[in-house]
Amino acid sequence: MSVTIREAVAADIGAIHGFILALADYEKLSHEVKADRASLDKYLFGPRPMAEVLIAENDGEAVGFALFFHNFSTFEGRPGLYLEDLFVIPEARGLGAGKALLSRLAQLALERDCARLEWWVLDWNEPSIAFYRSLGARPMDEWTVQRVDGEALSALASAHPAR
């Protein structure tokens, strides 16, 4: 048995969607999932992809994924990689799939001249936090996440007319 990492292809949409649903269930956020196969196909493999996905396989079977995209640091003056989601099915945890996914992301960050690789983790997810710390990740406790969505996003968009 060995874990391998590969780039996702459009034929992986079903597996990616399944991983997203399983992750949402684990994070107790299933009620927030709006992604479906069509939206994933459009934004991951359409004419203008907005994110990329790596698939972890064990003996040829998909056991996990990492969905990521580029961001940009104005202070560094260089791009970064932002890991939106990483998930490994419970039966495959302990095989090294999570570490292999993060290692491949770090390789991509270096290959692409990125200044950093970063992600969020829920504050109650102690197993993941401990895992990330073991890999050298450090918390950015002085930062808080801000979000505008739904009606607030629409209101903000209409606050100043585009010219």
Number of domains in the chain: 1
Query: What is the C-alpha separation between 108 and 114, in angstroms, rounded?
Result: 8
3-state SS class at 45: helix
User: How confident is the model at residue 1, as a pLDDT?
Assistant: 59
CATH number reported for the structural domain that contains residue 13 in this entry? 3.40.630.30
Question: Domain for residue 163, yes or no?
Answer: no
Question: Domain for residue 89, yes or no?
Answer: yes
pLDDT tens-digit series, residues 11-48: 999 999 999 999 999 999 999 999 999 999 999 999 99
pLDDT tens-digit series, residues 80-131: 999 999 999 999 999 999 999 999 999 999 999 999 999 999 999 999 999 9
Among candidate residues 84, 88, 83, 76, the one with its CA nearest the CA of residue 5? 88
Question: Domain for residue 37, yes or no?
Answer: yes
Own/partner long-range contacts of 90-96 (Cβ < 8 Å, ≥24 apart): 91/63, 92/56, 92/58, 92/63, 92/64, 95/1, 95/3, 95/58, 95/63, 96/3
Report which secondary-structure segment, H or E, holds 156: helix 150-157
Question: Domain for residue 162, yes or no?
Answer: no
Q: Which domain holds residue 139?
A: 3-157
Whose structure tokens read 């969905």?
Answer: 67
Q: Could you tell me which residues come within 8 angstroms of residue 116 by beta carbon, excluding any fewer than 6 positions away?
A: 73, 76, 80, 81, 109
Query: What strand order describes the sheet that includes 3-7?
Result: 3-7, 52-58, 61-73, 78-88, 117-119
Point out the catalytic residue in the list 26, 43, 82, 132.
Answer: 132
43 catalytic? Reply is no
Q: Which residues pair with 52 in a beta bridge?
A: 68
How many helices (H) and strands (E) are present in the chain, helices listed first? 5, 5
Question: Domain for residue 66, yes or no?
Answer: yes
Query: What is the C-alpha separation between 51 and 59, in angstroms, rounded?
Result: 26
Question: Domain for residue 42, yes or no?
Answer: yes
Mean pLDDT of 66-86: 97
Question: Domain for residue 52, yes or no?
Answer: yes
Grade residue 55 by pLDDT with cuts at 50, 70 and 90: very high
